[in-house]
Amino acid sequence: MEQAGLYIHIPFCRSKCPYCAFVSSPCRDQAPPAIYLEALGKQLQDLSAHPWCQENIFATLFIGGGTPSIYSGKQLAKLVKQCLSGFSFVGNPEISVETNPNSVSVEKLTGLREAGINRLSIGVQSFSDHLLALVGRSHSSAEASRAIEHARQAGFDNINLDFIYGLPRQTAVDLRQTLDVAISHNPEHIALYEMTIEPDTPFAQLNENGKLNLPGHDEVAEMEAAAQEQLLAAGYGRYEISNYARPGNECRHNINYWQNGSYLGLGAGAVSCFDGFRVHNVADHLQYVHCVQQGIMPFHEGEALSVEASFRESVITGLRLTSGVSLARLLERYGLEPRKYYGKVIARFVEEDMLLFDNDMMRLTEKSLPVANQVLAELV
């Protein structure tokens, strides 16, 4: 039986970072609404009775946001319990929760650990205080270090730290120093994303006005190459374009996305994909709560994916993994073979040493990793 992933979206943060395009609203000093968790509980209950959910088994649960840790430990523990009792899970599910450094304490983290959460993701972004302030983060580097120490004290032995590179005014030296501090904390997993300027954000406006001072393309490429060298030397493996892990600590939930597996998404703005269908929930949390309370599925739009569209998605997401995508699996799922399907495009990439075929696997080469998005764009 195919194993699926369960995602729960918490669309609240203390404040809104000026570069962020995620579905999240600022709570400022207010408590996040309890009514949202009640709606989630009801959607969980409604969906757990759905035949697809009863026939499938879940391998991972990921509570992401937003900032899930904005809720109390007790509230999050209840949510995890509802998920675990409402759906069938494998014996050793990966259960992750995203946190921000200034919304966790040892007590809260101990409660989360006791509730069965076994993977903690902390949004550190940088260990440089001036860069954190520049990009509007509400925490300091000292708070980030403290959060990691608290997580260890609470018993977490699978910790991810999120970072962004290519920040305004950031240099390769800044990034090196940040990763030095990160490595000194010995996390099991490090996610390193390139800064992207999302439309309709304050950063997009600043960038348009030439006031953002982003590092140039070459500097960003230099940062990425240096970061890879630094992390590989520290014993991390680069298993996805933006993700590094100690062997055995790769994120199972995200691997399921990259392998284009099935997943169920609950909460405002969450997406589900199974049996060739993709469904988007409404992004507005008030509308989401209203729909669930009225007994209406909170769906905003759905699409039926053709075999070819699913095949292309599997190729594109699968190539993000450095191990690549299995040709036998593509053939089995879709009856299609990439070399035949894409013809000259793939032949050119192979000739230019951007793609390679290695037994059953097709993958990006070292040379193409820094320009992976350009390669993938031609395979959409």
Residue numbers at the binding site for ligand SF4 (CB under 6 A)? 13, 16-17, 20, 22, 24, 65-67, 100, 123
Helix (H) or strand (E) run with residue 356 in it: strand 355-358
| Exposure string for 87-123, b = 16+ CB within 10 A, e = fewer | bebeeebbbbbbbbbbbbeeebbbbbbebebbbbbbb
CB of 250 to ligand SF4, least distance (A): 22
Smallest separation (angstroms) from ligand SF4 to the CB of 96: 15
Q: How far is it, in rounded angstroms, from Cα 271 to Cα 252?
A: 18
Q: What radius of gyration, in Å, describes the C-alpha atoms of the chain? A: 21
Measured from the CB atom, the residue of 62 and 239 that comes closer to ligand SF4 is 62
Q: How far is the CB of 174 from ligand SF4 (least distance, A)?
A: 19
For ligand SF4, give the closer residue by CB, 243 or 260: 243
End-to-end CA, the chain = 29
Q: Helices 217-233 and 172-184: crossing angle, nearest 10°?
A: 20
Q: Which of 278, 262, 279, 261 is CA-nearest to residue 325?
A: 261
> CA-to-CA distance for 362 and 117, rounded, in angstroms?
34
Cβ proximity to ligand SF4, 67 vs 170, nearer residue: 67
Q: State in angstroms the smallest separation of the CB of 12 from ligand SF4.
A: 8
Residue type, 196: T
Tokens of 132: 């954190």
Rank residues 113 and 137 by Cβ distance to ligand SF4 and give the closer one.
137
> Closest approach of Cβ 22 to ligand SF4, in Å?
4
Q: Between 4 and 164, name the residue whose CB sits nearer to ligand SF4.
A: 164
User: Omega into 166 within 30° of 0, i.e. cis?
Assistant: no
Q: What is the DSSP letter of 219?
A: H
Q: What is the smallest separation between the CB atom of 219 and ligand SF4, expressed in angstroms?
A: 23
CB nearer to ligand SF4: give 4 or 120: 120
Instruction: Name the phi and psi angles at 152, rounded to 5.
Output: -65, -45
Smallest gap from Cβ 65 to ligand SF4, in A, equals 6
Smallest distance, ligand SF4 to C-beta of residue 69, A:
10
Residue 17 or 268 with smaller CB distance to ligand SF4: 17
Nearer Cβ to ligand SF4, position 94 or 162?
162
Instruction: Give the residue from 17, 111, 13 showing the smallest Cα distance to 67.
Output: 13
Cβ 92 to ligand SF4 shortest distance, Å: 29
Q: What dihedral angle (degrees, nearest 10) is formed by the CA atoms of 253, 258, 263, 267?
A: 80
Q: Which long-range contacts (CB under 8 A, 24 or more apart) does 221-226 make?
A: 221/370, 222/172, 223/165, 223/166, 223/170, 223/172, 223/175, 224/165, 224/194, 224/370, 225/370, 226/172, 226/175, 226/176
Instruction: Please say which residue, 24 or 256, places its beta carbon nearer to ligand SF4.
Output: 24
